[in-house]
Amino acid sequence: MTTPSLNLVPFVDVDNMMRLVHAVGIEPFLQELADYVAEDFRRWPLFDKTPRVAAHSPEGVIELMPTSDGTLYGFKYVNGHPKNMKEGRQTVTAFGMLSDVDTGYPLLLSEMTILTALRTAATSAVAAGALARPDARCMALIGNGAQSEFQAMAFRAVLGVDRLRLYDIDPAATARCAANLARFGFDITPCTSAEEAVEGADIITTATADKQYATILSDNMVGAGVHINAVGGDCPGKTELHRDILLRSEIFVEYPPQTRIEGEIQQLDADYPVKELWQVLSGEIAGRSDARQVTLFDSVGFATEDFSALRYVRDKLGAHGFYQDLDLLADPDEPRDLFGMLLRAAPVARSA
């Protein structure tokens, strides 16, 4: 066991993140992470909140996602470029930092490509735990890309979902997803259409990647009592659900000012009423009201979720030690003598 140095910044690279997940166990990691996410949603009023700072291009988006609870400050850098798949690159990549508010010193620098997939799935499961029917065990996964297995594992860990109906426009993606999940005891049904996938499903998760207005789910595909976990629509001009589904669903969101720009509800009037997930988790309002109600979690991802994930990883470092120290901060013996520190680092001249 090791303890991070006060003058060095612990850095969790991709290899160490994977080692940490396996040391904890995939399902325990997701369950514990979900607990951190839920805890921070219940502390919602403490957080600084702002829509993510986004730089959009025709090919995708680059975003910064900052927040603070007054004690810790966290941010994530993340991109979303659907075209990357065709070039053998990830659609989403990310890294993040957690810092001490009192000193401004970084406490953790971490990869967040894997961690974002884990926290997105954990957040989906937290929302479904509050909004889906308690007996929900069958989930349709429409869009079998990089996020799909994480979603399945989180719903298994948190809700006990054990039946999956998979569909993707690329059959190879469905085959890969099914193969990756085969060892975990799911009852898996590959499907040839989205309509087939939703048959008998208690929960429908949509997680497609294309940056476009799309109709992955039409109104006639959503029966009474279903919970929809809409993950893919996460930027302006990108949606997955037909507008009529929204009009007959009870809609729950993370942060309305951001979701109205990026989520499914960008299709609705700016004052259309929605409910906030934090209010359900803190007990201020009810979630699902009856077994036949259609509930929708319009998920776009919010900075508090990344904060929760970074906080969770930092808390695990002492027990597992899967990090390396980075000499990221200049630390002169005399705080005011930064230039002297630079001079003393000059190479020694060689005599002729």
Q: Where are the domains of the chain?
A: 9-114+305-332, 133-301
Count of beta carbons in the 10 Å neighbourhood of residue 250: 17
Of the candidate ranges 99-108, 214-223, 272-281, the one whose mean pLDDT is the lowest: 214-223
* Res. 61 pLDDT band, cuts 50 70 90: confident
Nearest Cα residue to 277 out of 261, 269, 288: 288
For 113-145, the pLDDT digits (tens) are 999 999 999 999 999 999 999 999 999 999 999
How far apart CA 233 and CA 37 sit, in angstroms, is 21
- As a whole number, mean pLDDT of residues 291-314 equals 97
* 260 neighbors 266 (Cβ within 8 angstroms): yes
What single-letter DSSP state applies at residue 198?
T
- Whole-number pLDDT of residue 212: 62
Dihedral sign from CA coordinates of 158, 248, 195, 254:
negative
For the chain, what is the mean pLDDT? 93
Cα 203–chain centre separation? 18
Of the candidate ranges 44-48, 160-164, 217-221, the one whose mean pLDDT is the lowest: 217-221
Classified as helix, coil or strand, 177 is helix
- As a whole number, mean pLDDT of residues 157-171 equals 97
How far apart CA 115 and CA 310 sit, in angstroms, is 8
Residue type, 165: R
**Four-point Cα dihedral 178, 262, 297, 14, nearest 10:** 40
pLDDT score of 313 more than 90: yes
Longest dimension (CA), the chain: 89
For 166-221, the pLDDT digits (tens) are 999 999 999 999 999 999 999 999 999 999 999 999 999 999 866 566 788 999 99
- As a whole number, mean pLDDT of residues 227-234 equals 87
- Whole-number pLDDT of residue 86: 87
- Whole-number pLDDT of residue 210: 63
Please give the positions annotated as active site.
234
State the first-to-last Cα distance of the chain, in angstroms, to the nearest integer.
49
- Whole-number pLDDT of residue 211: 59
Nearest Cα residue to 76 out of 350, 321, 344, 301: 301
- Whole-number pLDDT of residue 214: 75
Q: Which two tokens stand for residue 37?
A: 């996410």
Residue reference for tokens 């230039």: 339
pLDDT score of 1 more than 50: no
Q: Which two tokens stand for residue 213?
A: 């207005």
> Between these two residues, 3 and 214, which has the higher pLDDT value?
214
For 80-96, the pLDDT digits (tens) are 888 898 899 988 899 99
Tell me the β-bridge partners of 65.
Answer: 76
How far apart CA 149 and CA 145 sit, in angstroms, is 8
- As a whole number, mean pLDDT of residues 275-296 equals 96
| Assigned superfamily of 133-301 | NAD(P)-binding Rossmann-like Domain (3.40.50.720)
Q: Which two tokens stand for residue 117?
A: 């997939």
Q: CA gyration radius for the chain?
A: 22
Q: pLDDT > 70: what percent of the chain?
A: 95
CA angle 168, 170, 175 (to 5 degrees): 80
For 235-273, the pLDDT digits (tens) are 677 788 999 999 999 999 999 999 999 899 999 999 999
The two beta strands, 203-206 and 187-190, are unpaired
For domain 9-114+305-332, give the CATH number.
3.30.1780.10
